[in-house]
Structures are given as C-alpha cells and as structure tokens.
Chains A and B, each alone.
Chain A
C-alpha cells in the first residue's frame, strides 16, 4: 500500500498493524474515526513529512530515508527515541522477564536451565538499562541543548564550554552493542533448550524476543544513521557560527 497524506489512519493500521508501534511512540491517540493521516498529524502537532517518512520506512522496508529524516529538527527524533526507550523499559523488557519467571516456575525438568536463562536475561537488563541511561541522561540532553543554542544569537556560556570539550563522536565509543546478548538468548532458547511443559508460553517468549530484537535493530539504525550524522553536522555548523 502506498502511504499518502490522504490515507485514512485506520486503513493504514489495518494494512500493517506493526505501524501501531510508530503511532504509540509519537503518542497519537486512538479513536481515528474517518480522519486522514494529514488531519491527525495536524491535530497532534506532528510534522506530516516526518510521520510519512517514518511510516513508509517501517512499512516498505525497502529504502531508508536517512537523509530525508535528517532535514527535520533533531528534537523530534529525540522525542521519538525517548518514547521508544520508555516502551522498552516499562513494557517489553519487564514482560519478557515475567514470562521467563513463569517458565521457570512451570519447569518440572529438575534442571536449572530456566534459572540460567533468567539470570542471563537479568544481566542483559542491567546492561540495557545502563545503555539507555547514558543516552537519556547525557547524550539526549546534550543534543537538545546543542540544537537550542545553535538557534540563539549567542549561546549560553555554560553550554559553549561543554560544546568545546565534547563531541557526539565520543559517544560512539561508548555506544555498546545492545543486541548481541539478546540474539544469543534467542539462539539458546531456539536451538539448545528443550521446551518446558508450557509450549505456548515458550513460543510466546521467543516471539517477543524476536520482536524486541527487530525493534532494537530499527532503533539502532535511527540512532546511528540519522541522529548521529545529523548531530555531527550540527556540531560543525555550531562551531562555524560561534568560532573560538
């Protein structure tokens, strides 16, 4: 389906329900009635092209609108990514954890395999949380003030000091791979564990891990191919506008 401004929002979701994730992260409320994408974006204060670019990418998967997405204010993307973070932390991760706990409680095999999986996943949670914390507490605020100060006549002296001693490239070094462990967990469950008594539960955990994995992948693509290049460019412009 081709996604155009006049497409009805409800048709969009019906044709591809995975797009619900995008709507949720942009905090678009339900109750679409017969409204078009255009109307809903206007009502919610979301830039139409930003929405279209994201939705088309998630839907068609053929092209990545990196450069087009870079033309939008960086704060929109940051908002989107933050929303995604809270989705992981508040919903997906605890849910998978709960399901592994349930699997463990149902495991009658007498072994410790499920306990091991739980331990492994909890290790993953702490790594994951640290990763997100770094972004939320250090990186995103820096990006937002960079954009804000860039638009000013004279940047806040305090920020100017920060900007001259820091670049987003430092962040790249700290940006650890958060998908590897999850992929390992998935492979161990899929290949090396006999399913415990409740098969339905086991399958569901796998499905959820696959989903989270895919979602994290998209998240990383947005960060590494849009956000960071955009910030690097903005840093350059900033230093040109406010030379030492």
Chain B
C-alpha cells in the first residue's frame, strides 16, 4: 500500500479486488497481508462505504440483517446476489465486525449476535484452509463482543466454542484451533474456573509450531496464570517468560506486555527472587513504569523483608491489584516477606537470639519466631540451626557456589538456548526461488517492498488493536 492519501473506502474496495484475485492461488500470504493491513483499512473506511460494500455483495435480506446488527444505515439500491469468492465473503464479515466494535454506540448485544452470525455463516458455507486466518479473527471478535456484553458465563457460548474447536481440530485448521484454545482459556480464567481451565490444558494440545506468535504468547500467558494459581511457580515463570519473548514489541501490544510484565514480576517475587530493577520499566520501556508502580512497591517491601511496609503497600494499591486480577496472588507474598526477613538476618548475624528476630520482624511472640525460623530452615531458605535451650539461632557457613557444578550447568543451559535460537532462525529463513536471474533483477524492487513492509509493520502488527485493553 502506498503512503499517498487514499480516499475513504478505496482501500477496502481495493482489498476486496485483491482478495478475489488471490482466491485462486491458495497462498496464505495474501490473506496475511490483508489482515496485517486490517487496522489501517478499518480506520479508512466509513459507514457509507462499508454499507455500500455490503449491499453490493449480498442479497437484500442478508445484507439488511448485517447492516442492522452493525448499526449501519443504507438507503441505496441493493445489488443482485452475485457469486462471491469465499475469501471476500469472510473478509467482509470480519471488516464489519472490526468496524462495529471500534465504533461508539453500537449495542454490544447486537455485536455479539453479529459475531455469532458470521461464525455460523462461515462454518456452514465453506471448508477452505485459505479462510483459516479470517475464521480465527472472526472468532476473536465474537468472543470479545460477548465479553463486552457480559455474556461470558453463558453455557451456549461455551458449547459453541467447544464444537468449533472440535471442527477446527478435524480440519487441521491450526489458526482457529489455537485461537479457540486461547479464547476458551480466557473465558474460563475470566469466570474463575481455574480447575476447568487446567483440565482443558491437560486435554488439548496447542499447535505450537503452527500457531502465530501473538496467539502463542497469549497461550503461554494463560498457562502461566493457571500454574501460578495452582502454586507451581517454577512452570508459571517459564511460561510467562516465553509469553513476553513471543509477544511482538510494538505499540499495539503494549497492553499485553504491561499485563504480562505485571504477572511476571509477581511470579518472580513468589518464587523468592527479587526482579531486576528494569523489569519495572526503564528508559527503553517507559510504558511499563506507571502500570507497574504497585508491583514496585510490593517488591520493595519484599526486598526489605518488612511485614508492615508490605501490608501498607498492599492496602494502598489494593484497587489496582484487584483490577489486574492479581490481588489473591499478591496476598500470598506475605510469607515471602517473612522469609526474606529471616534470610537477611541470617546473613547478617552468625548467631542471634530468637527474641531479637521476633523484634526485628515485628512478630507477636518468640514462640512464633522459633517455629518460623524452623520452617525457613526446612524450606531451605537459610542454612542454620536453632538452640532451643539457650534460645538462639546459629547460621552455618554458607557453601561456595563456585566450587560446585552450578555455574557450569547454568552456562551449559545458556549455550543450549543460544544454539537452539540459531537453529530456529536458520530453519525459518526464506530462500530465493530457483529463478535466480529474475530475482536479481527484481532485487531493487524487492528491497523497496521490504522497506515499505517494515514501515507498515511498525504501524500495525499481527497482534490486534484490541490487545491494547488486554486486561482483567
């Protein structure tokens, strides 16, 4: 697409023409290109153009249903029902959905019905792999509309999704399949059915190699959340790191990255580590600073091992944490605060009376302190022994990590990671076609196309606009 001024509607019209030509080629690259431009097309199209497009392509009854659901007015002539290519059909449905969801004043109930209609229409009419990407997006906007109209608890929606998921599996439609898994997880987590969500994960396989990165990022995010609730912090941390790495780092994905980073920080704290300072936003990622403020306060309290400071931070930021759906997780941090406190004491003093520990940690009784220290020793937080008769804790000499194989193992892990990264890159390279001469002639042209593509991708990305408000 050129950067010249495009009249409203023209881009949508040209996309339609482009699609109907590409329909025969069965190459997903064409659909992908259209999808990448979708946010731009959406912004350029206006109500009249969109209505005309619909009226041109569908017979009167069907066109009227769509127009009504999308809150569009149309006074012109309705065209004859012309044979329409499946790709164009899917694209128009998607465009109407995207347009309506971004427009103010469209009834959310209607939006949901529009989604339902589109999903049903596509499922009943076609079975073509070239539609997979459209199908998956249409599902996304359908469920998003259901969420906006507060219909996520509905059993019907759930069973519709399940049926569609089964169909997608049978058809090897990986795009829709992975979209539906993430959507199902979102619905389940949103309605707090963590148990069911973890069952779903156990019973399904996410098409990791075939799914798009943004979907994989979301999937890992949800997995991380499930694991964190079920106290498996190690796995949760791995998953959230994968989610952040897979997510595109473009402005469109800011919402997702903020949410993912919040969870990441919290999980890291729960595993007993203190996140690096730059995890809370830095000059490179200024968009993280404000949203992560509450988590920064919590981390500071955990790092200091100060129970009172922690309780205060929790109280001050309660509303924000609740909005993120992280309050319950944050509450669990209390024990980490105490453990850190004990660890700091154990590192500072080689021998200290239990009474002093009790005072330093603001605990109620010496007895509690004794049990807590004992528990910390058992959990491997500190290496010490307690002398009950004399009432003191004695720290043991800390062992020298560099004398063990730990550094070697860490190093080994990192090398392996770099190697596999290199291998993956090599595998996903695209090579020039055998017609080398033609390619060379087109090289200059191709370079320019590449430049355009890069500038386009900076504006948009394969992650949706709506990920801006990705939160709970």
Q: Do A and B come from one complex?
A: no
